Amino acid sequence: MHYLEDFMVAKEYGQQTFEKLVELNIAPTPQNFEIWYSWVSNRIPKLKKDLDALIASNLPYTENVANELYEQYFVSNAEASATVLEVGDRLQIQLDAMMENIASATADTSAYGSTLAEAGGQLAKLQDGEGAASMIETLVTATHKMQSRTAELEKRLEDSNNEVKDLRSDLDTIRKEALTDQLTALPNRKAFDQVMQNETARALESKSDLCLLFTDIDHFKKFNDTWGHQTGDNVLRLVARTLQNNTKGQDTPARYGGEEFAVVLPNTDIVNAEKLADQLRTSVKSKKLQRKSTGEDLGNVTISIGVAQYKPGEPVEDFVHRADTCLYAAKRAGRDRVICEGAEELGLVEDLKKGAA
């Protein structure tokens, strides 16, 4: 009963969310659904308060407002940003339990109907008196009634089964969207954090190599201000495609934030990680940028990359910090280069840190 109650509550919240989106004429995107589901369920009281104030003031719920709310309550808050994922996981368990119950109920009712039908047929052959005829009529009537109820139940269960399948598909879509950067289609910061937790744990357990690349687009702000945000977005997509096209299946390129990207490299030692980093740098630099509307040459984009190797047992934050420190050193050393952890590179990093102090 616990599973059914939780499922019905979640389903009611979902229905109320869609109704609210329709009422306010808001597009039912995964981002909007996550925001307004949290409003309906009051999972994030401060978010609900902000949305209540927005509704009360009759201010429009624009795309910018949605992005700001999502950034504040979901992207920047790891606990809040997991809301839909947690709901999806809970519903997945509940739905699986319901499906088992549905299958069991279908088998039981079908067997019961078959048993009654068979008993009625046997009695009709064995008895011939008036009392027996009456009993047979009663039994046959009851059998027909049960068969009718069974057919009706099976139809309802089939409809429920289809609804459950649709809901599971919707939840999978929402889960995927919640872990994907909408601009570049790469895994987002939240997905990156999850991958890092999983891969560091796996590397520790299997005693395998794990490396991390941290990369930043050189002078991106200047490029963005000069050529406009739309062109800047195209540059971000270009870098994202380059990372995707030059990494293998087990690797995870991700958009870390702004113009920063990361690549998680399981089963890769520091030597091969550095080779890949330079391959990525060279590939990005080789791209010729051109404004489509005018054919104007926009020059080349370059990236700087820092490379670090996981030290078994260290906190993930320290691992990320070391890769970021190498990236910082690459930018301070002139950009468009790779700086990898090692004796010489670490000395350079320390010198640069001292120079910045």
DSSP state letters, 111-174: HHHHHHHHHHHHHHHH--SHHHHHHHHHHHHHHHHHHHHHHHHHHHHHHHHHHHHHHHHHHHHH
Domain check: are 73 and 138 in the same one?
no
Q: How far apart are CA 320 and CA 334, in angstroms?
A: 22
Structure tokens at 243: 């990372």
349 and 261 in a common domain: yes
From 38, 58, 81, the end of a domain falls on 81
With bands split at pLDDT 50, 70 and 90, how would you rate the model's confidence at 332? very high
Q: What is the CATH number of the domain that holds 334?
A: 3.30.70.270
* Residue 183, domain member (yes or no): no
Q: What is the pTM of this model?
A: 0.57
In a domain, 108, yes or no: yes
Token pair 């609804």: residue = 163
Q: Has residue 123 been placed in a domain?
A: yes
> Of 36, 35, 29, 1, which is closest to residue 15 (Cα–Cα)?
36
Our measurement of the distance from residue 342's CA atom to the centroid of its chain's CA atoms, rounded to an integer in Å, reads: 35
Look-up of token digits 């520091």: 270
210 and 281: one domain? yes
Among 64, 81, 98, identify where a domain stops: 81
The reply to whether 337 and 301 lie within a common domain is yes
**Residue 330 domain-assigned (yes or no):** yes
Q: Mind listing the pLDDT tens digit for each residue in 186-219?
A: 999 989 999 999 999 999 999 999 999 999 999 9
Structural domain total, the chain: 3
Hey, what are 66's tokens? 């949605």
Tell me which residue range forms the domain holding 174: 84-178
Cα of first residue to Cα of last residue in the chain, in angstroms, is 63
Phi, psi for 63 (deg, rounded to 5): -65, -35
User: Is the domain of 161 the same as that of 40?
Assistant: no
| Long-range Cβ contact pairs of 299-302 (< 8 A, separation 24 or more) | 301/217, 301/218, 301/223, 301/235, 301/238, 301/239, 302/217, 302/218, 302/335, 302/336
**Greatest mean pLDDT range, 24-28, 42-46, 90-94, 203-207:** 203-207
Instruction: State how far the Cα of 257 lies from the Cα of 230, in Å rounded to an integer.
Output: 17
pLDDT higher than 50, residue 171: yes
In a domain, 184, yes or no: no
